[in-house]
Amino acid sequence: MDFKQAALLGSYISKDYAEEMFRLLATYSSISASEAASRLDLHVKTVQDFLEALYNLDVLGREEVYEKKRPYYRYTLKIKTIAFKLDLHYLFPSEAKDDKTSLRIREKMNAGARFTTARSDPYISNIAIWIGKGRERTERRINLSIPQGQFLYHLPFPSAEFQSINDIMHKAGLDSEHIPEILDIVDALIEFGVIEKGTA
Amino acid sequence: MLLKIFIMYFIRKLKPALLGTEFLIPLFALPAFLIVVGIWGIRAAWGAIAVIEFLVVLMHLNMYFRTKNNSFLWLAAAFLIIVFFAIYISMFGMPHKDHERTVLIIPVLCAFFIMGYIVLNKKIKWRTREILELSAMPVEETRNGFTERPLSIGKIDATEKEINSFAEFISKNMIAMPYQENGTIIFSISSSYWKQNGLRRGYEDESWISFNRSGEVNVFISQNDYLIYRDTFSFDQLCNNMGHLFIEFFELFKKGEGIRIMDKLNAFHLNPVTE
């Protein structure tokens, strides 16, 4: 099951009426949306969406039937157990991402970001970035983890030479275990135009 | 010799000093003084002077306790003489007999001499502009690059005791105002009149150099101070130079050559009153 399917399943299972719906589906050999809606005193559209979603997730089966030439669906429960298995492997940084630590970066000139330095130790505690223009301008504040803050504290100034992420991490005294979170904030700040990439 | 010539005839990197609050205060005080003279007479005006000068005495005493610079005690004493003089004139008027007048005026002249000596010898002059000039001296590149982040300069080999003694030296000689925070000494290079005269505290919005207990040195140059420079000098180089300047000061201080730090600052011959 991928993340989207899991999210969809989770959202429908968490409905107040979900257990009652499954009880009906388990009791009836097949049931239509209007029958279930009248039985549970719900709006037919609510039940229709629920049944369709579970059909798309392959939990329910569906059969088109005709009553006075008007087609409608009857649903049957296909399975007796829902196994919720979500693969998170793809969210972990791949080996190839480590190569990104050789990326040479520095703060972008006139980035318009406001860095707040922690009072106790040398690290940046948060960054405020202005997004949009004119009246639509909004402030986006990013609170940083301590390793991220230490990394950004040592980020080369806009007028300084570019430095590789590896070198900056070394300067900040950070171990390789922090690489994923550093790469994450670097990617985000490149996207917001706070950090610029140098040529290799 | 060449170095001496270079130091004496250096190219100014800072814009000329603007009229500060210290000049604006007398500018407003003078009409107020004339109004008092016009309405209540000259003796009342001397009374007003006595009150104002007494506040100046308190201000200098406050500065003495903050910096431990003895010149502030001398200045407080000199201003106290002016206060007594003003009170006397306010109560009894100017004496008519010559010898009485002489007795009254001699201490006042001494007070003015003390004030002149202290001011002209830069004993109470904050060295903000000298520090900024020294930091920009080797910088030619103009790449701007201002950022609100501090710059980490590196580590020095120092004990907490040495850093604390250095902080005392720095404040006593009006180079910077040290603040202690979580085991870190922050040397605030203040350009604000109110902070320079102890009327406001804190190093927020000011440039600073910090030495923490493990010897790490960090530098921050405020936007206001960066705008004092004539050109958009490379910001990282300015921060780097300022940090290394303080490290050099620290090394000189450790070797007992604090006087060389003062020589270096005095070599600029900045105006003791306006700069």
Q: Digits of tens for pLDDT over chain A (200 positions)?
A: 788 888 889 999 999 999 999 999 998 888 999 999 998 899 999 999 999 999 999 999 999 888 777 888 999 999 888 887 888 877 776 655 557 888 999 999 888 888 988 877 788 999 998 887 777 788 888 999 999 999 999 999 998 899 999 999 999 999 988 898 999 999 999 998 999 988 75
Cα dihedral value B34, B37, B43, B48, nearest 10: -50
| Cβ-Cβ contacts under 8 Å, A111 against chain B | 147
Give the pTM.
0.75
Measured between CB atoms, does B239 come within 8 Å of chain A? yes
Number of independent structural domains in chain B: 2
- My answer on whether B234 and B213 are in the same domain is yes
Please tell me whether residues B111 and B140 are part of one structural domain.
no
As beta bridge partners, residue B142 has: none
Question: Could you tell me the pLDDT band of residue B20, with boundaries at 50, 70 and 90?
Answer: low
Whether residue B189 is contained in a domain is answered as yes
Same-domain pairing of B210 and B106:
no
Amino acid at A124: I
Are residues B106 and B55 part of one domain? yes
Please report residues of A whose CB lies closer than 8 A to that of B220. Answer: 117
Residues in A closer than 8 angstroms to B143, CB to CB, are 158-159
The reported pLDDT for the residue numbered B154 is 87
- Residues B164-211 pLDDT 10s: 999 999 999 999 999 998 889 999 998 888 888 888 888 888 999 999
Residue A157 touches chain B, beta carbons under 8 Å: yes
Question: Does a structural domain hold residue B228?
Answer: yes
Sequence-separated (6 or more) residues with CB below 8 Å from residue A44: A33, A34, A37
Got the DSSP string for B218-274?
EEE--HHHHHHBSS---HHHHHHHHHHHHHHHHHHHHTT-HHHHHHHHHTT---TTT
- Phi, psi angle pair for B180, to nearest 5°: -100, 130
State the best of B139, B143, B144, B147 to mutate against chain A, taking most chain A CBs within 10 Å.
B147
Please report the pLDDT score of residue A95 as a whole number: 57
More confident residue, A66 or B242: B242
Residue of B66, B24, B32 whose CA lies nearest to B48: B32
**Could you say which of B120, B147, B177 is where a domain stops?**
B120
Phi, psi for residue B101 in degrees, rounded to 5: -65, -40
Average pLDDT over residues B140-146: 83
The answer to whether A29 and A76 are in contact (CB under 8 A) is yes
Q: Which residue has the higher pLDDT, B32 or B84?
A: B84
What are the start-end ranges of the E strands in chain B? 151-155, 177-181, 184-189, 207-212, 216-220
Beta bridge partners of B23: none
User: Is B143 in the same domain as B111?
Assistant: no
B-chain residues near A120 (CB < 8 A): 181-182, 184
Per-residue model confidence (pLDDT) at position B3: 46
What's the CA gap between B150 and B242, in Å, rounded? 12
Residues B28 and B97 in one domain: yes
- Chain A residues near residue B242 by CB distance under 8 angstroms: none
* pLDDT top residue among B268 and B259: B259
Among A9, A65, A69, which residue's Cα sits nearest to residue A34? A65
Please indicate, yes or no, if residue B260 is contained in any of the structural domains: yes
pLDDT digits (tens, 9 = 90+) for B112-123: 999 999 999 999
Higher pLDDT, B105 or B20: B105
DSSP one-letter code for B125:
-
Given a cut of 50, is residue B219 above it in pLDDT?
yes
Q: Is residue B275 part of a domain?
A: no
Band (B1; pLDDT cuts 50, 70, 90): very low
The reply to whether CATH 3.40.50.170 applies to domain A3-77 is no
Query: Which residue in A159, A163, A170 has the most chain B C-beta atoms within 10 A of its own C-beta, making it the best mutation to test that interface?
Result: A159
Query: B250 and B157: one domain?
Result: yes
* Residue to test with chain B: of A157, A163, A196, most B Cβ within 10 A: A157
Look at residue A200 in the predicted model and tell me its pLDDT: 58
B239-248: b (≥16 Cβ within 10 Å) or e: bbbbbbbbbe
Are B62 and B144 in the same domain? no
- Residue range B96-103: mean pLDDT, rounded: 86
Residue B5, pLDDT above cutoff 50:
no
- Half-sphere exposure in the Cβ direction for A185 (13 Å, CA): 25
What single-letter DSSP state applies at residue B83?
H
The answer on B137 and B240 residing in a single domain is yes
Looking at the domain assignment, is residue B193 inside a domain? yes
Question: Domain check: are B101 and B132 in the same one?
Answer: no
For residues B195, B200, B202, B206, the Cα torsion angle rounded to the nearest 10 degrees is -40
The average pLDDT across B31-56 equals 90
B178 in the same domain as B100? no
Using DSSP, state whether A189 is helix, strand or coil: helix
Last residue of a domain, one of B120, B153, B179: B120
Q: How many residues does chain A have?
A: 200
pLDDT of amino acid B79: 95
Quote the pLDDT of residue A93. 66
The whole domain housing B221 covers: 128-266
Rg (CA), chain A: 27
Above pLDDT 90, what percent of chain B? 53
Q: Which residue among A107, A122, A171 sits closest to B147, beta carbon to beta carbon?
A: A107
Do B116 and B134 lie in one domain? The reply is no
Token digits for B263? 């020589």
Q: Is residue B273 part of a domain?
A: no
**Average of per-residue pLDDT values in chain B:** 88
Of the residues B120, B143, B158, the one at which a domain ends? B120
* Mean pLDDT of all residues in B6-35: 76
